[in-house]
Chain A
Amino acid sequence: MFLHNYISKLQLDAPTPWGLFFQDSASPQMEGIEELHNNIMFYLAIILFTVTWMMISMIRNFLANKSPIAHKYMNHGTLIELIWTISPAFILILIAFPSFKLLYLMDEVMDPSLVVYAEGHQWYWSYQYPDFTNEDDEFIEFDSYIVPESDLEEGQFRMLEVDNRVIIPELTHTRIVISAADVIHSYACPSLGIKADAYPGRLNQASVYINRPGTFFGQCSEICGILHSSMPIAIQSVSIKDFLLWLREQMEG
């Protein structure tokens, strides 16, 4: 990851056609997920290679015409049975420990500096920033609808761009509180490594710490009706100064 930042200044923050790979991470959580994925893929490669090799060598060496009475001797072996029982258990432990570690690390919400409330509706997301109020005790509240294909401008993403993006300051611990107004939705953003279901009558929290500026896209991830595909999530991370400028404009406007 460190090297990667030197090689390329271009970051992949949106899905690409046939993109069977991760988007570039923008938060420590997503880095943790990638790390765990690579870790598990290492075991996967070893298991795949070993099992394939065993299968092929068995088929080659114990063909009926080559060793016609193999079944007479190849019927029991305590040692090999111990090996093929204990070693998978050991590999599972090696996978489970980093997995649990990551799970509980991600679950932990540090003392957040601000709260963003995201509410799923059929079919749009609405947001509130309850920590910042004006003189009339009102806070920022807006709806975030998809930009229809006919209104897209050059360079905007089809089915991902919204009219009002969520603005979050970078390098700030943020708590996203997620709920829904009608049916179950799910709030997800791959680059940030968050995905939490949005239930009516329940508040779920997700912790976000964005470590670089950028715009990150996600989609509703729980089938919620006919326009489930048309309620994307666009999170824009800006410097704290720009965030405050935006905040002021919202409060006054």
Chain B
Amino acid sequence: MGAIPEADPDEVLETKPFKFVTGYDARFPQQNQTKHCWQNYVDYYKCTTAKGEDFRPCKQFYHAFRSLCPKAWTDRWDGQREAGNFPVHLDK
């Protein structure tokens, strides 16, 4: 790992549209992004609780916390939500 693989000269490269969502958020202009991650996690589950899993605008929050939060943190919060001791009421 670490080495850059050789490009296959015969391979046809295709360009796909790609959009990143976790840009600058005026609520979190600081170096400290802990709340930025947390707020998006809470907002995503509040959003899906209110509007349902398939409500597409909720995905914005998902991409944001997915991109910012460490895996270990979201795994822990997922566990707390399932156990019912998540410190925020997601249905209010």
Task: Identify the A interface with B (CB < 8 A).
Answer: 107-115, 117, 119, 128, 130-131, 139, 141-142, 162-165, 167, 175, 177, 179, 181, 196, 201-206, 236, 238, 241-242, 245-246, 248-250, 253
Contact = CB atoms under 8 A, between A and B. Distances in A.
A246 B4 CA distance: 6
Contacts of A181: 72
A199 to B, nearest CB: 9
A204 B71 contact: no
Give the secondary structure class of B's interface.
Answer: loop
Contacts, number: 78
B79 to A, nearest CB: 17
Nearest 4 CB-CB pairings of A with B: A111-B23, A203-B33, A205-B33, A203-B34
B55 interface: no
B61 to A, nearest CB: 14
Interface stretch (B44-52, B62-70, B81-89): B62-70
Contact of B31 (A164, A204, A248, A253): A204
B22 A112 contact: yes
The interface centre, meaning the residue of B1, B23, B24, B66 with most chain A CB atoms within 10 A of its CB, is B1
A181 B1 CA distance: 23
B2 interface: yes
B1 A203 contact: no
Contact of A112 (B23, B31, B34): B23
Given A115-B68, A165-B2, A203-B68, 9 more contacts: A107-B30, A117-B70, A164-B1, A177-B70, A203-B32, A203-B37, A238-B4, A241-B7, A245-B4
A167 B24 contact: no
Contacts of B36: 203
Given A117-B70, A142-B1, A177-B68, A201 B20 contact: no
A165 B30 CA distance: 28
Nearest to A126: B70
A110 B13 CA distance: 28
Most buried by B among A201, A203, A249: A203
Contacts of A165: 2
A202 B36 CA distance: 11
A112 B20 contact: yes
Contacts of A248: 5
B2 A115 contact: no
Contacts of B13: 241
Nearest to B18: A113
B5 to A, nearest CB: 5
A163 B2 contact: yes
Given A112-B20, A163-B1, A245 B34 contact: no
Contact of B20 (A114, A236, A249, A253): A114
Contacts of A202: 32, 34
A206 B31 CA distance: 7
Given A130-B66, A179-B70, A203-B37, A196 B31 contact: yes
Contacts of B33: 177, 203-205
A246 B5 contact: yes
A131 B23 contact: no
